[in-house]
Amino acid sequence: MTHQYCLPADITPEIFLRDYWQKRPLLIRQGLPQIAGMFEPQDIIELAQEEEVTARLIQTHLQQDGSEKWQLKTSPLHATDFDNLPEKWSVLVQNLEQWSPELGKLWQAFAFIPQWQRDDIMVSFAPKGGSVGKHYDEYDVFLVQGYGERRWQLGKWCDPSTEFKANQPIRIFDDMGELVLDEVMQPGDVLYVPSRLSHYGVAESDCLTFSFGLRYPNASDILENFCKALEHHSEQINSSEFAIPFRLAPDVQPNGLLAQQSIQTLKQQLIALLQHSSQFDALFTQAIATTVSGRRYSLLNTEDSFYPDELADVLQSGARLYQDANCKSIYTDNGEIFVQGEWIDELNATERQLLAYLADGNALDWQQLQQYVSAESSLALLLDSLCDWLDNGWLLLDTE
Ligand code: SIN
Ligand code: CO
């Protein structure tokens, strides 16, 4: 596998993760030169008006007293929304992986961050002066300049207690504190902004900025998926230690009261069970894997379906298969595969290995496919599965 990371020559993935990740910003001049020229502003303005797109249009109106009034409109956006715009505005489109497999492939430049932490690629267009204001985000992001120039300023660290301006449709504030970076980015430049670091990007000319955004699960996501895992395994659960009642020795209390003390005792017993139970570890692994392999955007229908013999033909003529970045596919230490928030439990060992190989960012060609042929997976069966996975939108075929 050849990795073309976007990092500077003297910063290895190990150094980046140790010294920069969630600690310090990093400006990488020409970290991703391939992105320059991939899109023009008009492509994005038109895309923002497509029916199934998630987009936001932000307008900045200058008031008579010199202050700015922000206005937000979320998708669906229409051509008329782009009439009579003020001088400063921005349009943002989420989940670009859905619309451009070529762009989705560029996630490989960030493959030193595990795939399970990916969120999506967002793009913003703004004419000169356009911005989404000074703010911080709860996620880490690699900002990549794709077209034109944008000036980025980075300032103070924030946390959930940092206040945003009241009565604004977007989360912004005025005070960035002392600036730690103030640079103009050119097409191909990359800026890593750690979560909670305040940032402010202003277009210097018509400009496109791509945000390769990451994300992490929270307690509520995990607990929701934990309940789904419990349900999935309800039969085993019913005959396990999870089904044994907790023991309580309450003090004398009014008869109708459910005392806080009883609740605390039950909580302690539950925590103790979770800590020693291997069954819990298995369920929890499933809960985490389904949480982090899920995407906020569902897959739209893919265009081409293949028959196994057609796929065999194109692979033999040099085409390669790889994981579609529009889909999340991960595997756990015990080799289980999770795709788009689902545990794929019907796979045989060979299929699991094949999907794990693709989840690591590797391309599969005809020759490599032969190495997966085994007693349980004939070539015909593998080609069948690959056609299904293509159909599901898990894989892409690269015929170049
Ligand atoms: C932008 O591209 O204008 C905003 C990106 C960000 O602040 O995260
Ligand atoms: Co931001």
pLDDT at 144 over 80: yes
pLDDT, position 140: 98
Q: What pLDDT band is residue 302 in, cutting at 50, 70 and 90?
A: low
Ligand 1 pocket, CB under 6 A:
90, 124, 132, 137, 141, 199, 201, 209, 211
Six-digit token pair at 136?
Answer: 């911080």
Flag the least confident range among 56-65, 112-121, 209-218, 301-310. 301-310
Six-digit token pair at 90?
Answer: 């921005």
- CA 208 – ligand 1 centroid, Å: 10
In 95-125, which positions are buried (b, 16+ CB within 10 angstroms) versus exposed (e)? Answer: bbbbbbeebbbbbbbbbbbebbebbbbbbbb
pLDDT at 251 over 60: yes
96-142 pLDDT per residue, tens: 999 999 999 999 999 999 999 999 999 999 999 999 999 999 999 99
pLDDT, position 384: 96
Q: Which of 93, 138, 199 to mutate to test the pocket of ligand 1 (most atoms within 8 A of CB)?
A: 199
Q: What pLDDT band is residue 303 in, cutting at 50, 70 and 90?
A: low
Q: Rounded to an integer, what distance in angstroms lies between the CA atom of residue 11 and that of residue 42?
A: 36
- CA 211 – ligand 2 centroid, Å: 8
14-30 pLDDT per residue, tens: 999 999 999 999 999 99
Give the type of residue at 114: P
- CA 116 – ligand 1 centroid, Å: 22
37-51 pLDDT per residue, tens: 999 999 999 999 999
Instruction: Please tell me the number of Cα atoms within 13 Å of 233 on its side-chain side.
Output: 20
pLDDT, position 1: 44
Mean pLDDT of 351-363: 97
Q: Output the residue whose Cα is nearest ligand 1's atom 4.
A: 132
Q: Quick one: three-class SS letters along the chain?
A: CCCCCCCCCCCCHHHHHHHHCCCCCEEECCCCHHHCCCCCHHHHHHHCCCCCCCEEEEEEEECCCCCEEEEEEECCCCHHHHCCCCCEEEEEECCHHHCCHHHHHHHHHHCCCCHHHEEEEEEEEECCCCCCCCECCCCCEEEEEEECCEEEEEEEECCCCCCCCCCCCCCCCCCCCCCCEEEEECCCCEEEECCCEEEEEEECCCEEEEEEEECCCCHHHHHHHHHHHHHHCHHHHHCCHHHCCCCCCCCCCCCCCCCHHHHHHHHHHHHHHHHHCHHHHHHHHHHHHHHHHCCCCCCCCCCCCCCHHHHHHHHHCCCEEEECCCCCEEECCCCCEEECCEECCCCCHHHHHHHHHHHCCCCECHHHHHCCCCCCCCHHHHHHHHHHHHHHCCEEEECC
pLDDT, position 376: 87
Q: Are 277 and 212 in contact (CB under 8 A)?
A: no
Mean pLDDT of the chain: 94
Mean pLDDT of 328-356: 96
Flag the least confident range among 71-75, 135-139, 209-213, 295-299. 295-299
Angle formed by the axes of helices 379-392 and 308-316, nearest 10°: 100
- CA 42 – ligand 1 centroid, Å: 18
Q: Are 45 and 91 in contact (CB under 8 A)?
A: yes
170-203 pLDDT per residue, tens: 999 989 999 999 999 999 999 999 999 999 999 9
pLDDT, position 236: 84
Mean pLDDT of 257-261: 92
Q: Output the residue whose Cα is nearest ligand 1's atom 8.
A: 211
Q: Output the residue whose Cα is nearest ligand 1's atom 5.
A: 211
Q: Rounded to an integer, what distance in angstroms lies between the CA atom of residue 95 and that of residue 297?
A: 7
pLDDT, position 15: 98
pLDDT at 2 over 50: no
Q: Rounded to an integer, what distance in angstroms lies between the CA atom of residue 290 and that of residue 284?
A: 10
Six-digit token pair at 248?
Answer: 């309580």
**Residue 165: burial class (beta carbons within 10 Å; 0-12, 13-18, 19+):** middle
- CA 21 – ligand 1 centroid, Å: 19
pLDDT, position 237: 84
pLDDT, position 123: 98
Q: Rounded to an integer, what distance in angstroms lies between the CA atom of residue 202 and that of residue 58?
A: 13
How many other C-beta atoms lie within 10 A of the C-beta of residue 183? 14
Flag the least confident range among 106-115, 248-257, 327-336. 248-257
pLDDT at 268 over 70: yes
pLDDT, position 301: 67
More confident residue, 303 or 160: 160
Least distant ligand from the CA of 210? 1
- CA 103 – ligand 2 centroid, Å: 20
Within 8 A by CB and 6+ apart from 47, the residues are 53, 55, 93, 99
Q: Output the residue whose Cα is nearest ligand 1's atom 1.
A: 124
Q: Which atom of ligand 1 is nearest to the CA of 131?
A: 3
pLDDT, position 165: 87
Least distant ligand from the CA of 197? 2
How many other C-beta atoms lie within 10 A of the C-beta of residue 212? 25
Q: How far is CA 6 from CA 13, 26, 28, 350, in A?
A: 10, 11, 8, 33
Beta strands 197-203 and 55-62, pairing class: unpaired
